[in-house]
Chains A and B, each alone.
Chain A
Amino acid sequence: MKLQSVWRFVKDFEGGLRSRSTEYVEFELREMENIFSLLLVGSFIGIPSPPSNISIKLMPYVVREMYVMGRRAGDMDDISGEIFGLFAP
């Protein structure tokens, strides 16, 4: 029983380390996914966009990227909070 608890603790600790190690890459990835969506529908807000036919073709497959863009827009007022959160111990 004790051994199991120790094992679980080690596993959780390892999981924590793993997710900590990819935090920055995940943040970068979210930014890229956000940019990708912004490019596709950017014509609505005046960002240079690819011809609409490319956007229309890709739209069905970028659900995740559109979701990230929506979240990103929601978090816009606390962008510095998110960045500083990355450096928190």
Chain B
Amino acid sequence: MDLRVIFVVGKGGVGKTTCAAAVAFSVSKDSNTLIVSLDPAHNLGDVFGTPLSGKAREIKENLWGLEVDMEAAIKDYLEKSSRKLKDMYGYLKAINIEGYLDTIRLSPGIEEYATLEAIEQIISEGQKKYEVIVFDTPPTGLTLRVLALPKVSLIWGERLVRLRKEILSKRLAIEKIQGEKKFVLEGREFKLSTREEKDEVMQELLSYMKEVGRVEELQTDAKRCMVMPVMNPDRLSLFETRRAFDTLEKLAMPIGAVVVNKFSGKEDEIEIITKAELELRKPIRKIPLLEREPVGMNAIEKFSSYLRVEEWLPQSRK
């Protein structure tokens, strides 16, 4: 099964969740679809009028939804790592590993890493079951940082692999003259690996790069991935969308249609839309300012007709 992924991005409050729900509703007509909310302030369940949790739940035929609990994801992510760390460094009091972990927990950026881990996990588990995964993302700033992470991680990974290779080759040279070397620290013995295939650091690095590489490859493949920016017909929203476009282009991420939500037809709004068409050079989908909030399945179905998803979303290669 060919998995296609859609990221719905935009400034806080523009209506990303409703648009994501509408896209998911549209594609679920002929593809098994999962919609995932990554926004720490979830309201995906409210939009569909059905409670959602951290476990995928069927919303209607072919459409599943889940809300990732980011707090729990961060906790899980750190706990997994800290268990291994404490085991290895428990006796090295000088390094104060507990303090290190507490600092990481509060360090800027940890939310982005946890979000990326969540995306990786959902994609790798979801590709057996779903044909389309729609991500309703947190506001633009955080999302763009998350989307940039695979590229940054790959650059760092390559550098560390290069340095590690040099370390291993030096160790091997020493081993050839002096025989196998062991490192003993407070009674515990560590064998110093000299070969890439036996070096845990190298293996961990390579497997991480493979994982991240898969996400990066998917992100930049226009046949499998699409970003759908959502904005409101106002100046600030246009500025932010333009900045998001710059970053997405640098990351070589394919961009689908731009949704202009809550369009009331005023003259200045028409002006903004004309500007958006000229500057962004992408299909624009105008969604009128509705009298009632689009909540519930019928409203979402009606809302989805404005998006005409089939015109810009890459078709499945089933």
Contacts and interface: CB of A to CB of B under 8 A. Distances in A.
B160 A62 contact: no
Contacts of B270: none
A54 B107 contact: no
Nearest to A70: B94
A60 B84 contact: yes
Instruction: Identify whether the interface residues of B are mostly helix, strand, loop, or mixed.
Output: helix
B160 A52 contact: no
A56 B104 contact: yes
A54 B157 contact: yes
Contacts of A64: 183, 185, 190, 192
Given A22-B178, A60-B85, A63-B92, A52 B113 contact: yes
Most chain-A Cβ atoms within 10 A of its Cβ — which of B103, B159, B174, B190? B174
A22 to B, nearest CB: 5
Interface residues of B, number: 45
User: Does more than half of chain A's interface fall in helix, strand or loop, or is it mixed?
Assistant: helix
A29 B170 contact: yes
Contacts of B152: 51
A53 B156 CA distance: 11
Nearest to A19: B178
A54 B173 contact: no
Contacts of A53: 113, 116-117, 153
A82 interface: no
Contact of B109 (A52, A57, A70): A52
A25 interface: yes
A58 B159 CA distance: 14
Nearest to B181: A26
Contacts of A57: 81, 204, 208
B89 interface: yes
22 contacts: A19-B178, A21-B177, A29-B167, A50-B157, A51-B109, A51-B113, A51-B152, A52-B104, A52-B109, A53-B113, A53-B117, A54-B156, A56-B104, A58-B205, A59-B81, A59-B84, A60-B81, A63-B88, A63-B190, A64-B183, A66-B92, A66-B95
Given A58-B204, A60-B87, 9 more contacts: A32-B170, A36-B163, A39-B163, A53-B117, A54-B157, A56-B78, A59-B81, A62-B201, A64-B190
Interface of A: 18-19, 21-22, 25-26, 28-29, 32-33, 35-36, 39, 41, 43-44, 50-54, 56-64, 66-67, 70
Interface of B: 78, 81, 84-85, 87-89, 92, 94-95, 100, 103-104, 107, 109-110, 113, 116-117, 149, 152-153, 156-157, 159-160, 163-164, 166-167, 170-171, 173-174, 177-178, 183, 185, 190, 192, 200-201, 204-205, 208
